[in-house]
Amino acid sequence: MKSRFHGAATLSVLAVSALALSACTSTGGGEEASGGGESGGEVSLISPGTLTVCSDIPYAPFEYVEDGETVGFDIDLVNRIAEDLGVETNVITTPFEAIETGSALDTDQCDLAASGMTINEERESVMDFSDPYLEDNLALLVAPDSGIESVADIEGQRVGAQQATTGEDYARDNGADVVQYETSSLMIQGLNTDDVKAVLGNISVTGPAIADNPELRLVEEIETGEQLGLAVKTGNTALLERVNESLAAMEEDGTLDQLKAEWLGTADSEGTDSSASPEPAAS
C-alpha cells in the first residue's frame, strides 16, 4: 500500500524540546509518558503528555477528515495506544514522502507514523516498524468500459496510482503508462472522470471506493503478502515496545477485528458484525 481516500491541508509541526521523565502517573490504566531521550526503558515523547502522530491525510478509510474531525482505522489505533500510555493524541498531516523516507520521524516532527503504510525492506532501513496490524493485497479497479479484465491488460494503458506506493511500483513493473496522484481520493476521481482507465491500489482503499462508486469494477486482486505497520524513529525501542503491547492487547480483546469490521467491512474472526461499516466520502 501506501497503500492508502482522504482530504485536508498538508502542514508539519515543529518538534518541541524533549524533557526528561521525572515521574509517572496513572491515567486510564496506563503510565503517562513525557519528553526525554529517543530510546531506553522509559517512553519519551517530543511533546510531554501527547503522542504526536504523522499521517498522510486524507487516505480513507485509514485517516481522513469528516465533519471537521480526523477519523479512520489508523486514528482509532493510535488513540488506543495513547490511552494505554496515559497521554493525549495529536495527529498532524504530513506528506507521505516525508513519512516513508523516515525524515518526519528523524526531524522529530512526530513520535509515531500511522498512514496505512506497508512494511518493506527499504522503509525498514530508515525507521522501526511495529508488529503488523493488517494484511493488505493490491487490487485493480477499472471503469465499466475500460476493456481491462486483468493486470495482463494494463500494458501501455493509462493507469492511476497514488505516488510513492506499491501500487505505483506494480503498475510500472507491468508496463502501464502510470499517472501519479497525490492522494487516493484524487486517484479515484481520475478514474471517474476518464483521466485513466484503471487504478492500482490496496484493496483496503479500493474496496470502500466501490461502495461510493458502484459502477466501478474490481477485476483482480493481486496477492502481495503486504502487511501494514506503525513506525517509530530508528532506535526508539521504548515506544515501539509499548506500541506492540497495545497492538497485542487489541488483537487479544477483539478490538482489531472490530476495527476491520467498522472501517473495512471485513474481519478475520467469525461472528464479527460488519453491517455498521461506514462509507466515508473522499474529500
Residue 271 lies in a domain: no
Identify the domain boundary among 195, 225, 255: 225
Are 171 and 181 within 8 A, CB to CB?
no
Helix, strand, or coil here: 282? coil
With cell 478490538, the residue in question is 255
Residue 215 lies in a domain: yes
What is the pLDDT, as a whole number, of residue 67? Answer: 96
Q: Are residues 116 and 56 in the same domain?
A: yes
pLDDT tens-digit profile, the chain (283 residues):
564 433 333 333 323 333 233 333 223 334 456 543 444 479 999 999 999 999 999 888 999 999 999 999 999 999 999 999 999 999 999 999 999 999 999 999 999 999 999 899 999 999 999 999 998 899 999 999 999 999 999 999 999 999 988 899 999 999 999 999 998 889 999 999 999 999 999 888 887 888 788 899 999 999 988 899 999 999 999 999 999 999 999 999 999 999 988 887 664 433 333 333 333 333 2
Q: Are residues 195 and 258 in the same domain?
A: no
Q: Are residues 242 and 119 in the same domain?
A: yes
Q: Are residues 184 and 141 in the same domain?
A: yes
* Domain span holding position 145: 137-225
Q: Are residues 123 and 230 in the same domain?
A: yes
Q: Are residues 123 and 234 in the same domain?
A: yes
What is the pLDDT, as a whole number, of residue 24? Answer: 32
Q: Are residues 231 and 122 in the same domain?
A: yes
Q: Are residues 68 and 127 in the same domain?
A: yes
What is the pLDDT, as a whole number, of residue 222? Answer: 93
The H-or-E segment that residue 113 falls in is: strand 112-113
Closest CA to 13 of 95, 90, 89, 92: 92
Residue 273 lies in a domain: no
What is the pLDDT, as a whole number, of residue 32? Answer: 55
What is the pLDDT, as a whole number, of residue 63? Answer: 95
Q: Are residues 159 and 184 in the same domain?
A: yes
The number of distinct structural domains making up the chain is 2
Q: Are residues 145 and 216 in the same domain?
A: yes
Question: CB-based contacts of 216: which residues, under 8 Å, 6+ apart?
Answer: 141, 142, 143, 144, 188, 191, 192, 209, 210
Residue 66: what are its φ and ψ, rounded to 5°? -135, 120
Question: CB-based contacts of 257: which residues, under 8 Å, 6+ apart?
Answer: 267, 268, 269, 272
What is the pLDDT, as a whole number, of residue 2? Answer: 64
The answer to pTM > 0.75 is no
Are 227 and 136 within 8 A, CB to CB?
yes
Domain of residue 166, CATH code: 3.40.190.10
Residue 25 lies in a domain: no
Residue 3 lies in a domain: no
Q: What DSSP line would sit under 47-105, residue for residue?
A: BTTEEEEEE-S-BTTTBEEETTEEESHHHHHHHHHHHHHT-EEEEEE--HHHHHTSHHH
What is the pLDDT, as a whole number, of residue 204? Answer: 83
What is the pLDDT, as a whole number, of residue 262? Answer: 86
Are 111 and 53 within 8 A, CB to CB?
yes
Beta-bridge mates of residue 180: 161
Q: Are residues 101 and 116 in the same domain?
A: yes
Q: Are residues 234 and 127 in the same domain?
A: yes
CA distance 243 to 226: 20
Work out the burial of residue 167: count CB atoms within 10 Å of its CB; fewer than 13 is exposed, 13-18 middle, 19 or more buried.
buried
Closest CA to 99 of 123, 76, 77: 123
What is the pLDDT, as a whole number, of residue 3? Answer: 45
What is the pLDDT, as a whole number, of residue 212? Answer: 82
Determine the Cα angle at 204 with ends 214 and 178, to 5°. Answer: 80
